[in-house]
Structure 1
Amino acid sequence: MDVVALIGRILFVLLFLGSGFAHLAQTEAMAGYAASKGVPNARLATQLSGVLILVGGLMVLLGIWADLGALLLVLFLVPTALLMHAFWKETDPQARQLEMIQFQKDMALAGAALLVFALVVKLGDDLGLTITGPLFR
């Protein structure tokens, strides 16, 4: 099961690693989109969120306080869903549907990250193939 857990962690964080890199490599474009959604200090927010999801994703991937890494991902996902994908504000039906899908994706990923958190805390060193055990006990 250790290998299955590692494969699951790899598959889970691929999205975050790619997105975090994009936040830092394409800051201007992403900050422009964030600003259009009303995010204050959009450039700084884009850079900080990129670092947040890169660090959180790497922590989960490598098993270095993976519980904390999972919480960092939740800290990114929930505000992102609420600020960037506020489908209830959209008047165009197609835009509303697209934003609802993105909102639901972010919330589902936040739920998965909370499950990762709970599993790491509960199983601790028994999860296997991690560098450290959980930070929270």
Structure 2
Amino acid sequence: MDVVALIGRILFVLLFLGSGYAHLAQTEAMAGYAASKGVPAAKLATQISGVMMIIGAVMLMLGVWADLGALLLVVFLIPTAVLMHAFWKETDPQTKQLEMIQFQKDIGLAGAALLIFALIVKLGPDLGLTVTDPLFG
């Protein structure tokens, strides 16, 4: 089961590693989009969110305070869902539907990250194939 947990962690974080890299490699373009959505200090927010995703994903993947890594992803996902995918503000039906899908994806991923957090705190070293014990619990 240890290997299955490791594979699950790796598969879960792939999205965040790629997206975090994009936030840092394409900061100007992503910050422009964030600014169009009303995000304050869009360039700084883009850079900070990129760093949060990468650090959280690496921590979770390697099992170095993986519980904290999972929380970093939650702290990224919830505000992103609300600020970037506010489907309730859209009037165009197609745009509204696309934003709703993105909102639900981010909320679902936040729920999964919270579940991972709880499992790591509860199971601690029994989760297996981690470098450190959980920071919390």
Overall identity of the aligned pairs, in %? 81
Amino acid in the other structure paired with 1:32? G
Shift of 1:127: 0.4
Look up the match of 1:127.
127
Between the aligned partners of 1:114 and 1:68, the Cα distance in structure 2 is: 10
State the partner residue of 2:55: 55
**Structure 2: any 5+ residue segments left out of the alignment?**
none
Once residues 59 and 123 of structure 2 are traced to their aligned partners in structure 1, the CA distance between those partners, rounded to angstroms, is 16
Letter in 2 for 1:51: V
How far apart are 1:90 and its partner, in Å?
0.2
| 1:61-108 per-position Cα deviation (integer Å, ceiling 9, x unaligned) | 000000000000000000000000000000000000000000000000
Q: Counterpart in 2 of 1:82?
A: 82
Matched, 1:15 2:36: no
Counterpart Cα distance in 2 of 1:134 and 1:27:
32
Is 1:116 aligned to 2:120, yes or no?
Answer: no
| Structure 2: distance between partners of 1:39 and 1:70 | 23
Provide the aligned C-alpha RMSD in A.
Answer: 0.3
1:97 alignment partner in structure 2? 97
Structure 1: tracts of 5 or more residues without a match: none
Over residues 8-60 of structure 1, what are the superposed CA-to-partner deviations in whole Å (9 max), with x where a residue is unaligned?
Answer: 00000000000000000000000000000000110000000000010000000
* Secondary structure at the counterpart of residue 91 of structure 1: coil
CA distance in 2, matches of 1:117, 1:90: 33
- Give TM-score scaled by structure 2 length: 1.00
- Give 2:31's aligned residue: 31
What is the CA–CA distance in structure 2 between the aligned matches of 1:136 and 1:47, rounded to whole Å?
Answer: 27
Q: 1:72 corresponds to which letter in structure 2?
A: L
Runs of 4+ in 1 over 6 A off after TM superposition: none
